[in-house]
């Protein structure tokens, strides 16, 4: 079993997304439902984080990044075998340009 950790960038993105949904779109229930959906997907990674595809980029990425869709967003993560941890790196809208978004 793996543990799941949200990196600071992913937490900021999750906050920005939910603030936008709650305040700009005036849909606080949808924002709460989005958080629940992200948490459910992240929790599902504990059992088998390798089941989702690797994100292939035209740019060099220092680690093997995988992604899983959550509604209209993608959750990007890395599996760290040494610590048995899944690190959530980014949460980005599927229409955003994904390149150069990883350290």
Distance in angstroms (rounded) separating the CA atoms of residues 80 and 49: 10
pTM of the complete model: 0.89
For 44, other C-beta atoms within 10 Å of its C-beta total 14
Better pLDDT: 6 or 101: 6
Element (H or E) spanning 89, and its range? Answer: strand 85-93
CATH of 3-93, one of 1.20.120.160, 3.30.365.10, 3.30.70.20, 3.30.2310.20: 3.30.2310.20
- pLDDT score for 56: 83
Q: What are the extents of the domains in the chain?
A: 3-93
């Amino acid at each position: 079993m793996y543990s799941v950790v949200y990196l600071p960038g992913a937490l900021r993105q999750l906050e920005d997304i939910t603030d936008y949904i709650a305040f700009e779109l005036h849909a606080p229930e949808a924002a709460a439902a989005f958080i629940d959906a992200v948490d459910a997907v992240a929790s599902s990674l504990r059992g088998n984080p390798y089941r989702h595809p690797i994100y292939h980029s035209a740019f060099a990425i220092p680690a093997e990044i995988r992604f899983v869709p959550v509604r209209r967003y993608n959750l990007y993560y890395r599996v760290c075998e040494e610590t048995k941890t899944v690190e959530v790196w980014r949460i980005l809208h599927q229409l955003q340009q994904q390149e150069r978004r990883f350290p």
